[in-house]
Amino acid sequence: MTDMPDSPPPPSLQPGLRDLPFDVDLRRLNLGVGYVALLLPVSLVLVTVLTNTCFNASISHYYYSRLGGDILVGALSFIGLLLMFFYGFRTTNRVGCLGYGKLDIVLLKLAGLAGVLVAFSPTTGSGCAYDGAEVARLFLTGAQGSEGFHPPGGTVTGTISYDFWASFPAFASPGNVPMLLKALHFGAAGVMFAILGYFSYFVFTRVNSPAARAPGNRKDRRNLWYRALGRVIFAVVGVLAIKGALLGLVLPTAMAETIAALWDSLRLTFICESLGLISFGISWMIKGRFIYAFEDAAAMPQARAA
């Protein structure tokens, strides 16, 4: 007697989108990602204003603020996990993604992974000159103290550190953290922004739905914005890369420290990162048609005949 393959379940039992108790709308997903990216820098500025705390040198440095760290990690995790797991290789055959290729899906997943790495391998340095009234979220190496840490009933001592990797015993000694790990945050941020710029400039501008070919389409209008926003993202990546190379590899140490201090005092990294995130957010919001000015006539709800 030979083994027979299992027969497929009846059509009524086969899983499919119609079996889900909710609608899966790609546009809403794009809109959600866009809003989170757009509102991240805005939220961090509000944290500074409303809590009367330090305006950090970069968006990444808000990891160490009391409320900003939760917002930063939550937003980047939301974006990263969606990019990694929502888009699949079958997405390329769906309306809204007709111009996508398999490489594009791989890049989206890589961008999502990079976003999660940015969140969970924070930048180094405090990003602020904290005063006694502020409490920063930081790491302690060699921490010792009371189990019942409820002042004034107990105290905890240790060496203050703004280096994530120093939390691990293998890297706790000064100078023991490999440069590759220190550069992980910046490398992941660069990869994420570069891929998102690529999507805005090259992928979103392709014909991804039949409505983009129909009369009354506004594809040219959308593409004008996609390309402009993509250029801004690429410019941000370029400026920050050049700044890092000049200060870290080219200029003499004394000059590099002076320029770095001026750069940080003007919050130029925060401004550049904000421009990149806002451009990314608006690009994905346009993809989600957040206003009718970007919608094709063929995709708009048609009025019923009287």
Per-residue pLDDT, 273: 97
Confidence of residue 287 (pLDDT cuts 50, 70, 90): very high
With a CB cutoff of 8 Å and minimum separation 6, the contacts of 83 are 33, 108, 109, 111, 112, 115
pLDDT of 8 higher than 60: no
pTM of the model: 0.85
Neighbours of 80 (CB within 10 A): 23
Instruction: In whole angstroms, give the CA distance from residue 58 to residue 81.
Output: 23
pLDDT of 72 higher than 90: yes
Instruction: In whole angstroms, give the CA distance from residue 136 to residue 67.
Output: 10
Please provide the average confidence, as pLDDT, over all residues in the chain: 86
Measured between alpha carbons, how far apart are the two ends of the chain, in Å? 66
Query: Would you call 259 helix, strand, or coil by DSSP?
Result: helix
Which structure tokens are listed for 100?
């996508």
Query: Would you call 144 helix, strand, or coil by DSSP?
Result: strand
Mean pLDDT of 118-133: 85
Whether the CB-CB separation of 97 and 208 falls below 8 Å is answered with yes
Residue 138, Cβ density class (10 Å: 0-12 exposed, 13-18 middle, ≥19 buried): middle
Q: How many CA atoms lie within 13 A of 163 on its CB side?
A: 20
Confidence of residue 22 (pLDDT cuts 50, 70, 90): low
Which structure tokens are listed for 268?
């130029």
Residue 193 parent element (H or E): helix 184-198
pLDDT of 288 higher than 80: yes
Per-residue pLDDT, 306: 47
What's the CA angle centered on 166, arms 131 and 129, to 5 degrees? 15
Confidence of residue 302 (pLDDT cuts 50, 70, 90): low
Whether the CB-CB separation of 43 and 89 falls below 8 Å is answered with no
Per-residue pLDDT, 14: 45
Q: Which of 75, 82, 68 has the alpha carbon at shortest distance from 35?
A: 75
Rounded to whole angstroms, the maximal C-alpha distance in the chain is: 83
Instruction: In whole angstroms, give the CA distance from residue 111 to residue 105.
Output: 10
pLDDT of 53 higher than 80: yes
Taken as a whole, the chain contains a residue count of 306
